[in-house]
Amino acid sequence: MARSFSFSNAAFHAGRADGPSGFLWAYLLVYAVFAVLVAVVQYGLQALLLRSEIDMQVAMAGGGFTSGMIGKFALFYLITIAISVVIWSVLEASIMRRYVHETGFTIGFGGDERRLIMVGLAWVATFIGLYILSAIAAFVVTGGIGSLAQGSPVLLGVAAFIVGLALTCVWIFVTVRLSAASALTIRDKKVHFFDSWGATKGRFWPLFGAYLLLSVIIFIVGIVMIGVLVALIGIDMPRPEVLLAHMSPAGLGLAFFGFFGVMTILQGLMSYIWAGPASLAAKTDPRGAGMVGAADVFS
């Protein structure tokens, strides 16, 4: 069923999207497997990173610091980013095929995933660019206002707040306008990134409202899930130190895996639900390229 683009349809597209049932359970299972693998890899990388950082600090203290240590330090972060982008592309492709092409659960590493790797790298580059520009803008603006304020802490605080709020708005605006990149890429089997600007033209506020509502819902659900888990584990033991003192190693392990499981399920649900608004924007592309674009233009 073709659905027009609106705030309501965007916010609840995860529940209203057509296609075979059973996708979410299979997706969450695969997501959990990937989460465990990523946790193991990150643990190993962090252990190496910690060792490298200790060696770096010792070398600096002894005057034997080398540029090779910086290279090793940076390599760990690059590996982490690369692994994250690849895994994201696999999971994102599965979600977008479900939303855009209304297929059942599929997982693999083909053309869709390779194209989304390029999209993921474009996201990384965009966020790095935004971070650099934000830092420069904050330095210039607050520095200029600081000279006019003549060192007044109140005026400096107000200026910092206004600058921070303005930069946050810029980040949100750019992120929302580019949010349809993955769905467009899966739809056309062609790498799209900045083309998302056209698919989301005139739709910022419905998309922003949808994401804001979903954020509130996900936050509340997360708090409830964590609260229930804590209540089940720590009943009659409100203080963490008392709880830890009375729990066996097996109990601590069970609590850890229980918390990890709850957070994994929540993150998996969030990634699936979060992709809904952008995928609907791509399917109802106002430029006429969407699969059901006519439903949006003529509704």
> DSSP character for 104?
-
Nearest to 13 by CA among 150, 179, 196, 253: 179
The H-assigned helical ranges of 178-248 are 181-188, 196-199, 204-233, 240-246
Spatial separation of the C-alpha atoms in residues 260 and 38, rounded to whole Å: 13
Q: What is the pLDDT of residues 93-136, one digit of tens each?
A: 999 999 998 888 888 899 999 999 999 999 999 999 998 988 88
Buried b (16+ CB within 10 A) or exposed e, 203-222: beebbbebbebbeeebeeeb
> DSSP character for 108?
-
* Intra-chain end-to-end CA distance of the chain, in Å: 13
Task: Give me the pLDDT at residue 139, please.
Answer: 79
Task: Give me the pLDDT at residue 227, please.
Answer: 75
Q: Give the residue carrying structure tokens 């006019």.
A: 148
Strand, helix or coil for residue 9? helix
Q: Are 199 and 277 in contact (CB under 8 A)?
A: no
Task: Please provide the size of the chain in residues.
Answer: 299
Strand, helix or coil for residue 212? helix
Instruction: Pick out the chain residues at pLDDT < 70.
Output: 1-2, 45-73, 144-152, 229-259, 288-299
The H-assigned helical ranges of 101-110 are none
Residues 6+ apart with CB under 8 A from 163: 137, 138, 141, 142
Task: Give me the pLDDT at residue 255, please.
Answer: 61
Task: Give me the pLDDT at residue 293, please.
Answer: 41
The helix (run of H) or strand (run of E) holding residue 5 is none
Q: What is the pLDDT of residues 222-244, one digit of tens each?
A: 788 777 766 665 544 455 555 55
> DSSP character for 125?
H
Residues 35, 42, 74, CA angle at the centre, nearest 5°? 135
How many Cβ atoms from other residues are within 10 Å of residue 191's Cβ? Answer: 16
Spatial separation of the C-alpha atoms in residues 112 and 106, rounded to whole Å: 11
Could you give the C-alpha distances from 123 to 46, 111, 128, 208, 253, in angstroms and in order? Answer: 24, 19, 9, 18, 36
Spatial separation of the C-alpha atoms in residues 14 and 7, rounded to whole Å: 13
Q: At what angle do helices 181-188 and 111-149 cross, to 10 degrees?
A: 160
Task: Give me the pLDDT at residue 209, please.
Answer: 94
Task: Give me the pLDDT at residue 292, please.
Answer: 45
Rg (CA), the chain: 23
Strand, helix or coil for residue 196? helix
HSE, side-chain direction, 13 A CA sphere, residue 92: 29
> DSSP character for 62?
T
Q: Which amino acid is at 118?
A: M
